[in-house]
C-alpha cells in the first residue's frame, strides 16, 4: 500500500468517528498543499511558493491537484488527513502538547512533512529548536542524513542529491552549501524530510518570472511531492 492509499484509509477512519468532525479536505483531488501553523515562531513564510509548486505539479504530472493552498493549525486534527504537509520558519519551534501529539500521530500513521529551515543555517534557532523537538518525539538518533542515492532524488526527475539554492552562501554566517538533506524514517517510510537549504525562498517568486529561469527550480518540489504520494 503506498502512502496515498494509506492516508486515504486513515482519513476514512477519522471521518467515521475516530476524531469527531474530521473529514478529508480534498476528496476530489490526489494532492492538496497543506501548510502547518504552529504557536511558536513564524510559520507564514514564502507566501508565493505554494502556488508555484502547485503550478508545476499541474504542468508536469497527471495528478488531480487542488489549486488552493490549505492552511491548518498543527493542533487541528484535520491535518491528519493531508497527503503532504509543509512546515517552515526562521524562529523558535516549540510544540505545545496538541501540536506534538498530532505531529507524531501523523508521521507514525504514514504521513509526510517537508520541513524547511528558512534561516538556511545548521546552527540557527529554527534548526536547533526543531531538531530538539524531533529528538524528544522520535528519539535522539531518528533524524539522519539521507544518501544522495535515496529514491527521493529519482521519484520523478533525476537529481544527484539535493539541488543547491541561491541563498546558502549569502546569509546568516553559515558560508557553506548543505550537500545533504535529513529525514526521519518510520516503518520503512520517510515521514519527515528536513532541509537547511531554504527551498521555500528559492521557490518564492512571482510565477511570471519563471520563464526567465535557465532551469525550473521547482522540479525538485515535484520530486518531493511525488515521493510523498507514492512511497
- Measured in degrees and rounded to the nearest 5, phi and psi for residue 158 equal -105, 125
Residue 6 has pLDDT above 70, yes or no: no
Range of lowest pLDDT (5-9, 43-47, 52-56, 58-62): 5-9
Q: What is the mean pLDDT of residues 49-69?
A: 95
3 state DSSP class of 184: strand
Average pLDDT, the chain: 87
Identify the H or E element spanning 9.
Answer: helix 3-13
Q: How many Å apart are CA 207 and CA 221, to the nearest integer?
A: 15
pTM of the entire structure?
0.88
Could you give the percent of the chain with pLDDT greater than 90?
71
Residue 59 has pLDDT above 60, yes or no: yes
Nearest to 93 by CA among 58, 62, 71, 118: 118
Q: How many Å apart are CA 63 and CA 216, to the nearest integer?
A: 19
In the block, cell 534561516 appears at: 119
What's the Cα-to-Cα distance from 169 to each of 90, 146, 159, 204, 224, rounded to whole Å?
A: 17, 21, 21, 18, 23
Q: How many Å apart are CA 7 and CA 97, to the nearest integer?
A: 23
- Measured in degrees and rounded to the nearest 5, phi and psi for residue 130 equal -65, -45
Amino acid at each position: 500500500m503506498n502512502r496515498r492509499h494509506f492516508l486515504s484509509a486513515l482519513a476514512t477512519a477519522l471521518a467515521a468517528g475516530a476524531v469527531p468532525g474530521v473529514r478529508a479536505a480534498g476528496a476530489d483531488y490526489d494532492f492538496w498543499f497543506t501548510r502547518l501553523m504552529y504557536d511558536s515562531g513564524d510559520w507564514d513564510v514564502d507566501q508565493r511558493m505554494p502556488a508555484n509548486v502547485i503550478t508545476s505539479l499541474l504542468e508536469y504530472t497527471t495528478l488531480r491537484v487542488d489549486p488552493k493552498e490549505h492552511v491548518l493549525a498543527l493542533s487541528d486534527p484535520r491535518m491528519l488527513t493531508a497527503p503532504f504537509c509543509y512546515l517552515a520558519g526562521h524562529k523558535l519551534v516549540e510544540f505545545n502538547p496538541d501540536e506534538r501529539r498530532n505531529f507524531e500521530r501523523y508521521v507514525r500513521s504514514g504521513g509526510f512533512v517537508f520541513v524547511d529551515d528558512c534561516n538556511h543555517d545548521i546552527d540557527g534557532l529554527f534548526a536547533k529548536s526543531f531538531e530538539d523537538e524531533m529528538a524528544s518525539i522520535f528519539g535522539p538518533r531518528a533524524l539522519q542524513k539521507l544518501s544522495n542515492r535515496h529514491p527521493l532524488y529519482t521519484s520523478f526527475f533525476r537529481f544527484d542529491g539535493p539541488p543547491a539554492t541561491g541563498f546558502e552562501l549569502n546569509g546568516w554566517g553559515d558560508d557553506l552549501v548543505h550537500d545533504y538533506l535529513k529525514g526521519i524514517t518510520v516503518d520503512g517510510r520517510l515521514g519527515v524530510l528536513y532541509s537547511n537549504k531554504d527551498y521555500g525562498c528559492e521557490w518564492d517568486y512571482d510565477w511570471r518570472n519563471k520563464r526567465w529561469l535557465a532551469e525550473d527550480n521547482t522540479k525538485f518540489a515535484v520530486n518531493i511531492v511525488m515521493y510523498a504520494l507514492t512511497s
